[in-house]
Amino acid sequence: MKRNFSAKEMQVLGILLFIVLLGIVVSSVSRKSVDTSTSNEQERQSVVFPIDINRATAEELILLPGIGPVKADAIVRERERVGAFSRISDILRVTGIGEKTLEGIADFITLGESDAFSDSVVETLFDLNRVTTEELETIPGIGPVKAASIVEFRDLNGSFCSVEQLLEVTGIGEATLKNIRSYFFVDGVECNHSSGSRININTADRNELTKLPGVGSVIASAIVDHRELYGPFVDLEDLLSVKGIGEKTLEGMKHMVEF
């Protein structure tokens, strides 16, 4: 005789069926997650580091720290657009990749056979004391902001005495300097900060004043303008009233000025 289940029994059976189905779904998802994780780990282990960024596929590039699908595709597109990367720092041209990302992947990437000599081969060398913002922007790793900062630093502080002095420019750290230093040279004649005869702060013209350490064309002009407005400087303390001259600048030039 066929038994009829009560409404309460039907409710209990429905709950049990739901629990069973839920368990099946969770088990399936868990197995798939484990399989995917295992697959990714096996793929990572099968790739030999460092990766040649001129030959690596997007799937291989994804395995680099900090490089997801979007950046991996961007690297491949940039490579297809302009050709092979000639320097490790060229990867900074890729949208979404900055100095921090480059530092994170530097030990895991290579340029293949060309890597041994790529960093020592530069088509154009720029005089750091004459290079323009437009020329600076053609160098990998230097955008409009850094280019403007370099020129502004030069205008305010005078000629660079060495390429290493770029570290004093806002926005340029050790990593950036390492990538760009081979693009520059500094003519020793242009370094105006060497010790020598003193400069009379009350009679020197703008060009002579730029020979003082920490004085570029902007501060030199400010010194002349202040002198014309208020008369001769009496002592070192008077120079602190010139816009752009602080204690640090004054300390650097005091041994080279006279009144």
Rounded distance between C-alpha atoms, residue 118 and residue 58, angstroms: 23
- All residue ranges of the chain with pLDDT < 70 are 1-5, 26-47, 112-123, 188-196
Determine the Cα–Cα distance for residues 183 and 236; give it in Å rounded to an integer.
39
Q: pLDDT at position 205, please?
A: 92
Among candidates 220, 178, 216, 186, which has minimal Cα distance to 201? 220
The CA distance from 107 to 68, in Å, is: 17
196: three-class secondary structure by DSSP: coil
Q: For residue 158, what pLDDT is reported? A: 77
Q: Give the model's pLDDT for residue 114.
A: 44
Q: How far is residue 157's CA from residue 179's CA, in Å, rounded to a whole number? A: 24
Annotate 49-63 with DSSP letters as a single string: SSEETTT--HHHHTT
Domains of the chain, start order: 51-115 (1.10.150.280), 126-185 (1.10.150.320), 206-254 (1.10.150.310)
For residue 190, what pLDDT is reported? Answer: 46
pTM of the model: 0.41
Digit-coded pLDDT (tens) for 216-253: 888 899 999 999 999 999 999 999 999 888 888 888 78
